[in-house]
C-alpha cells in the first residue's frame, strides 16, 4: 500500500504493518513540492529499525511529480536534477529497494531528444556516490499529453540510454497500461502486453502499481480507482497474483483514499479474496460484497 509519512518517514512502516502489508511505498515529502525538510539521522535509524523489526518486506519511495528529467527549460532542469538527486540519496540512506520515477514529458521537443535528456540526467544522478543499493525504477505512463514511457519501445530506449542495468528497473502500473491502450483485462491482451513489457528492462519487472482504471481503454488519463470496480475489473488482479513471473515482486496499491483506512482495507481484502480463488470466480458472494462496498465509496 502507498502510505502516508505524516509524523515522519518511519511512521509509514507502522501504518503499513497495521494494514498487514508486506510492501509499502512512500513519498519522501509532499509530491507537489520541490523539497521537504531535511530528514535527521535519528529518523533514518528509526526507519531502518522498524523495517527490520516489524518484518516489512520491500519499500519503495516515489519521486516528486514535479520532476521532469526531459525538460529543456534550464531552471526546471536544475530543480528536477536537484530533487531527483535528493530523493536518490535519501532512498539509499533509508535502504529502500526502489525509487520510482515517471520518465518525464517530451513537450517542446522530439521524443528522441527527450529520451536523450532523460538519459543524461538520470545517469548523472545514478553516478552520485552512495552507500545503498536502491534501484531507480522507471514507471510506465498513462500516455496522456507528451509523457514518455507509454509503450515498450519508449521504455526500452530509455533504459538503453540510461545504462546502469544493475541500478535500474521497471515499475508497471496497471491503470497506466490500460489508459495507454493495453487491454490487460482479458487473457490474450494480458499475455501479449506482459510479454512485450517484460522485455524492456534488463531485470524484467521490479515492481507493480496495482490500480484499477477510472476511464476506458486508451483514454490516456491517469486516474486510478479501487481494485475490481474500474474498467480493468477483478480478473486482471486475480491473474497477476497467480502469475509465477511476479512472485516476490512488490505490488503497491495507489487507490483513492477519501475515508481513512477503510478503503485501503477493502482493496486489500479484495486482493486476498482473489488470491484464495484457485480459478477465477467473479460471482463469489464475498468478492461481490467487497466490490459493492468499494463502489459505494466512489
Ligand atoms: Zn503508479
Ligand atoms: Zn497513476
Task: Write out pLDDT tens, residues 226-252.
Answer: 999 999 999 999 999 999 999 999 999
Residue 183 designated active-site: no
Residue that has been written with the C-alpha cell 509532499 in this structure: 30
- State the Cα–Cα distance between residues 41 and 61, nearest whole angstrom: 17
Residue that has been written with the C-alpha cell 521537504 in this structure: 36
Write the DSSP symbol of residue 68. -
Helix, strand, coil shares of the chain, percent, nearest 5, are: 45, 15, 45
Cell of 136: 531507480
Q: What three-state secondary structure class fits 24?
A: strand
Residue that has been written with the C-alpha cell 484499477 in this structure: 212
Strands 205-210 and 168-173: parallel
- Which of 2, 51, 150, 209 is an active site residue? 209
Å from CA of 45 to ligand 2 middle:
31
Q: What is the reported pLDDT for 126?
A: 97
Domains parsed from the chain with CATH numbers: 11-254 (3.20.20.150)
Q: What is the reported pLDDT for 43?
A: 97
Torsion of CA 186, 187, 188, 190, to 10 degrees: 80
- Which of 22, 52, 65, 259 is an active site residue? 65
Å from CA of 238 to ligand 2 middle:
20
What is the per-residue burial (b if ≥16 Cβ within 10 Å, else e) of 220-234? bebbbbbbbbbbbbb
Q: What is the reported pLDDT for 103?
A: 97
Q: What residues contact residue 11 under an 8 Å CB cut-off, 6+ apart?
A: 4, 5
Query: What's the average model confidence in pLDDT over 264-276?
Result: 97
Å from CA of 224 to ligand 1 middle:
9
Quickly state the pLDDT bin for 8 (edges 50, 70, 90): very high
Residue 32 designated active-site: yes
Query: What's the average model confidence in pLDDT over 178-206?
Result: 97
pLDDT tens for residues 34-80? 988 899 999 999 999 999 999 999 999 999 999 999 999 999 999 99
- State the Cα–Cα distance between residues 120 and 69, nearest whole angstrom: 9
Enclosing H/E stretch for 160: helix 152-162
Å from CA of 224 to ligand 2 middle:
6
- Which of 224, 226, 263, 264 is an active site residue? 224
Average pLDDT, the chain: 96
Q: What three-state secondary structure class fits 266?
A: helix
Q: What is the reported pLDDT for 56?
A: 97
pLDDT tens for residues 95-136? 999 999 999 999 989 999 999 999 999 999 999 999 999 999
**What is 174-235 written as a DSSP string?**
HHHHHHTT--TTSHHHHHHHHHHHHTSSTT-EEEEEE-EESS-TT-----EE-TTTSSS-HH
Residue 41 designated active-site: no
Strands 98-101 and 251-253: unpaired
**Percent of the chain beyond pLDDT 70?**
100
Amino acid at each position: 500500500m502507498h502510505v502516508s509519512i505524516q509524523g515522519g518517514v518511519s511512521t509509514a512502516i507502522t501504518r503499513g504493518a497495521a494494514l498487514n502489508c508486506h510492501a509499502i511505498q512512500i513519498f519522501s515529502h509532499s509530491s507537489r513540492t520541490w523539497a521537504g525538510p531535511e530528514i535527521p539521522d535519528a529518523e533514518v535509524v528509526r526507519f531502518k529499525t522498524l523495517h527490520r523489526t516489524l518484518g516489512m518486506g520491500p519499500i519503495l519511495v516515489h519521486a516528486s511529480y514535479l520532476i521532469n528529467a526531459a525538460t529543456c527549460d534550464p531552471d526546471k532542469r536544475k530543480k528536477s536534477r536537484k530533487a531527483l538527486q535528493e530523493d536518490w540519496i535519501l532512498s539509499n540512506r533509508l535502504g529502500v529497494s526502489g525509487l520510482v520515477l515517471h520518465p518525464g514529458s517530451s513537450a517542446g521537443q522530439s521524443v528522441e531528444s527527450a529520451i536523450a535528456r532523460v538519459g543524461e540526467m538520470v545517469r548523472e544522478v545514478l553516478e552520485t556516490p552512495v552507500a545503498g543499493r536502491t534501484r531507480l525504477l522507471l514507471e510506465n505512463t498513462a500516455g496522456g499529453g507528451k509523457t514518455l514511457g507509454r509503450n515498450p519501445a519508449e521504455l526500452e530506449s530509455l533504459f538503453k540510454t540510461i545504462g546502469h542495468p544493475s541500478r535500474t528497473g521497471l515499475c508497471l502500473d496497471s491503470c497506466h497500461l490500460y489508459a495507454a491502450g493495453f487491454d490487460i483485462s482479458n487473457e490474450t491482451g494480458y499475455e501479449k502486453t506482459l510479454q512485450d513489457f517484460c522485455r524492456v528492462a534488463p531485470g524484467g519487472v521490479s515492481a507493480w502499481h496495482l490500480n484499477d482504471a477510472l476511464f476506458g481503454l486508451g483514454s490516456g488519463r491517469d486516474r486510478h480507482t479501487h481494485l475490481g470496480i474500474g474498467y480493468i475489473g477483478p480478473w486482471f488482479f486475480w491473474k497477476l497474483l497467480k502469475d509465477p513471473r511476479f512472485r516476490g515482486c512488490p505490488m503497491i496499491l495507489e487507490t483513492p483514499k477519501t475515508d481513512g483506512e477503510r478503503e485501503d482495507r477493502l482493496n486489500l481484502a479484495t486482493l486476498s479474496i482473489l488470491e484464495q480463488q484457485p480459478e477465477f470466480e467473479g460471482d463469489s458472494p464475498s468478492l461481490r460484497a467487497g466490490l459493492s462496498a468499494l463502489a459505494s465509496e466512489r
